[in-house]
């Protein structure tokens, strides 16, 4: 036998509340934990000899959730390559460094407070327990459970640490979305502070409303894998950040917008394929369990179908409007389809998944144009992909859901029948409320955060550093030493 006793080194009594101040002393979380963990008592208790079938079920569910978490983790590489490739060479080191450190910071912030705010016992607005993942373990093996909120959600029984890791990689995704939109001009330290605030405080609060048993969950808003929870939150934060920062030097002039082509389409395309791969963890893993395999297979298929239709739709839309099959539009179309299917993936049939992806692929092409027309400079199209298509995917739940009798996922749960399928506005209304509430909350709070960071540390690098490139000025190195570059 490999293991027969559950992990018990986390105390249920740990109820201290800690808020990380978003100051530039980023090492505070580290010192905080050094002070804190001595209070984590190891409470040993006896577990009843487990039923072999129950052990196997939780074991299989844990394997599934962990492997999906690993795939979602790998999306950090996807975002990193995509964003770096889509930006200019002189800022490559900066973008790589941001994308690499941001998940490390997200880990610390979400571990220390984010997970507690999002999933801890509390009230409909935020969780108020479970700091440092010090909550109860509700795995069947321990027979324990978060009270109240998790009971209501009927969450499955994988070990707490597996749930945490899965949720952590989602939180990390929200922060990397922002990275792309603010690239090539933001100060490194300012981005790090914002990432801590987003993953430690803001993302968890609106997430609590939906996945933590909060008020939006209570009114019947549904978002299976995070079109709103993750993507639109990241997208709204990106929008505010790009607006606060202003466009890159020389991007817009009286004669119009100047294209600033990315420097490495090979790694950008690789990034897109890594993201597509990661989405097979993102969506199917959000079942948090395997059951008889039907739901995970269904979600994997709707996810892939939407990606394919999104990619093809964007390719031909761009081909028709721009005259060429633009590679960056193929990439963004695939991502648009993936973001669009994220909320409804478990509750719609495969043909409707195709429609959702197809529409997302068309939307993204025009969204890029419109946002560019607003002179919001988003080097990688993050706002169009994640915010606009995140909103679309959330609406799609209200339009295309099979409803509780559709039997695609769950039993008695899930969204009501969609508008197009004859369900009227029953599901549309909470979806619209959710979109507006999360959008407004994120717009306001990230605006406050960006403004505070601007006041404390400044947002934008000096003009001469931007011209020279952030790699030399911020990091003292260049990405491609030995290659000759254009002046």
Residues between 384 and 443 that touch its own copies (CB under 8 A): 402, 405-411
Count the Cβ atoms, other than its own, within 10 Å of residue 326.
17
Determine, following the binding rule CB under 8 A, whether residue 99 of this chain makes contact with its own copies: yes
Using CB under 8 A, pick the residue from 146, 164, 203, 222 that binds its own copies: 164
With CB under 8 A as the contact rule, which of the stretches 207-215, 222-230, 348-356, 445-453 interacts with its own copies? 348-356
Say if residues 268 and 81 touch (Cβ distance below 8 Å). yes
CB of 433 to its own copies, least distance (A): 26
Helix axes 265-282, 52-86, angle to 10 degrees: 160
Q: Which is nearer to its own copies, 334 or 399 (CB)?
A: 334
Q: Mark 4-43 with x for binding to its own copies (rule: CB under 8 A) and - for no binding.
A: xxxxxxx---------------xx--x--xx-xx--x-x-
Alpha-carbon distance 87 to 262, whole Å?
A: 4
Provide the b/e sequence for 444-460 (b: ≥16 CB within 10 Å). ebbbebbeebeeeeebb
Site residues for its own copies, 199-238, by CB under 8 A, read none
Site residues for its own copies, 460-479, by CB under 8 A, read 474-479
411 secondary structure, DSSP code: S
Determine, following the binding rule CB under 8 A, whether residue 366 of this chain makes contact with its own copies: no
Determine, following the binding rule CB under 8 A, whether residue 307 of this chain makes contact with its own copies: yes
Q: Which is nearer to its own copies, 141 or 243 (CB)?
A: 141
> How many residues line the site for its own copies (CB under 8 A)?
156
| Phi-psi region at 213: left, alpha or beta (left = phi > 0; alpha = psi -120 to 50) | left
Tokens standing for residue 428: 């549309």
Q: Which is nearer to its own copies, 67 or 249 (CB)?
A: 67
Determine, following the binding rule CB under 8 A, whether residue 257 of this chain makes contact with its own copies: no
Using CB under 8 A, pick the residue from 12, 15, 18, 101 that binds its own copies: 101
Q: Mark 71-90 with x for binding to its own copies (rule: CB under 8 A) and - for no binding.
A: x-xx-xx--xx--xx--xxx
Q: Which is nearer to its own copies, 60 or 219 (CB)?
A: 60
Q: Which is nearer to its own copies, 52 or 253 (CB)?
A: 52
CA max distance for the chain: 75
Residue of 450, 390, 76 lying closest to 233 (CA atoms) = 390
Given CA atoms 112, 444, 185, 371 in this order, what sign does their dihedral have? positive
Determine, following the binding rule CB under 8 A, whether residue 162 of this chain makes contact with its own copies: yes
Helix ranges (DSSP H) in 203-349: 203-211, 215-218, 233-245, 265-282, 294-322, 327-342
Please list the residues that pair with 82 across neighbouring strands. none
Site residues for its own copies, 270-299, by CB under 8 A, read 270, 272-274, 276-277, 280-281, 284, 287-298
Alpha-carbon distance 475 to 156, whole Å?
A: 45
Using CB under 8 A, pick the residue from 194, 236, 309, 450 that binds its own copies: 309
Using CB under 8 A, pick the residue from 20, 66, 178, 183 that binds its own copies: 66
Coil, strand or helix at 60 = helix
Torsion of CA 427, 214, 207, 397, to 10 degrees: -10
Residue of 250, 228, 293, 224 lying closest to 442 (CA atoms) = 228
CB of 93 to its own copies, least distance (A): 5
Site residues for its own copies, 166-205, by CB under 8 A, read 168, 188
Q: Which is nearer to its own copies, 124 or 410 (CB)?
A: 410
CB of 159 to its own copies, least distance (A): 4
Site residues for its own copies, 114-143, by CB under 8 A, read 132-133, 137, 139, 141
In terms of DSSP bridges, do strands 256-257 and 252-253 run parallel, antiparallel, or are they unpaired? Answer: antiparallel
* Burial of 231 from C-beta contacts in 10 A (0-12 / 13-18 / 19+): buried
Give the H/E segment covering residue 256: strand 256-257
Q: Which is nearer to its own copies, 426 or 478 (CB)?
A: 478
Q: Which is nearer to its own copies, 273 or 447 (CB)?
A: 273
Using CB under 8 A, pick the residue from 20, 117, 118, 158 that binds its own copies: 158
Coil, strand or helix at 112 = helix
Using CB under 8 A, pick the residue from 218, 325, 424, 462 that binds its own copies: 325
With CB under 8 A as the contact rule, which of the stretches 44-52, 233-241, 375-383, 389-397 interacts with its own copies? 44-52
């Amino acid at each position: 036998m490999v293991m027969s006793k559950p992990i018990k080194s986390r105390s249920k009594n740990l109820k201290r509340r800690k808020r990380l101040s978003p100051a530039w002393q980023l090492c505070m979380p580290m010192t905080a934990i050094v002070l804190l963990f001595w209070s984590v008592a190891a409470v040993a208790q006896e577990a009843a000899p487990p039923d072999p079938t129950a052990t196997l079920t939780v074991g299989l569910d844990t394997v599934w959730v962990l492997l999906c978490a690993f795939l979602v983790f790998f999306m950090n590489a996807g975002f990193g390559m995509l964003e770096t490739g889509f930006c200019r060479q002189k800022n490559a080191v900066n973008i790589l460094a941001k994308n690499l450190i941001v998940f490390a910071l997200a880990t610390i912030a979400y571990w220390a407070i984010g997970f507690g705010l999002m999933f801890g016992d509390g009230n409909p607005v935020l969780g108020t327990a479970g700091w440092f993942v010090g909550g109860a373990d509700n795995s069947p093996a321990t027979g324990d459970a978060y009270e109240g909120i998790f009971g209501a959600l009927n969450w499955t029984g994988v070990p707490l640490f597996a749930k945490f890791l899965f949720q952590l990689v989602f939180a990390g995704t929200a922060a990397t979305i922002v990275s792309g939109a603010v690239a090539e001009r933001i100060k490194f330290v300012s981005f790090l502070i914002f990432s801590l605030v987003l993953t430690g405080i803001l993302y968890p609060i609106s997430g609590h409303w939906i996945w933590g048993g909060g008020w939006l969950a209570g009114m019947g808003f549904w978002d299976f894998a995070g079109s709103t929870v993750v993507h639109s939150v990241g997208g709204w934060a990106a929008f505010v950040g790009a607006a606060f920062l202003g466009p890159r030097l020389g991007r817009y002039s009286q004669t119009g917008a100047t294209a600033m082509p990315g420097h490495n389409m090979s790694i950008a395309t690789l990034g897109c394929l890594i993201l597509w791969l990661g989405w097979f963890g993102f969506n199917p893993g959000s079942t948090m369990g395997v059951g008889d395999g039907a739901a995970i297979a269904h979600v994997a298929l709707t996810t892939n179908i939407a990606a394919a239709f999104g990619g093809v739709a964007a390719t031909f839309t761009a081909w028709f409007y721009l005259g060429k099959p633009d590679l960056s539009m193929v990439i963004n179309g695939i991502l648009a389809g993936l973001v669009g299917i994220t909320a409804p993936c478990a509750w719609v049939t495969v043909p409707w998944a195709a429609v959702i992806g197809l529409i997302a692929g068309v939307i993204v092409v025009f969204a890029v144009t419109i946002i560019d027309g607003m002179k919001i400079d988003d080097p990688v199209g993050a706002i169009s992909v994640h915010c606009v298509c995140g909103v679309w995917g959330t609406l799609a739940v209200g339009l295309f859901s099979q409803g509780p009798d559709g039997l695609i996922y769950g039993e008695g749960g899930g969204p009501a029948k969609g508008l197009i399928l004859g369900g009227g506005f029953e599901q549309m209304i909470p979806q619209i409320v959710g979109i507006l509430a999360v959008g407004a909350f994120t717009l306001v709070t990230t605006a406050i955060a960006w403004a505070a960071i601007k006041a404390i540390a400044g947002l934008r690098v000096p003009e001469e550093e931007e011209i020279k490139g952030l790699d030399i000025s911020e990091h003292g190195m260049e990405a491609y030493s030995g290659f000759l570059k254009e002046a």
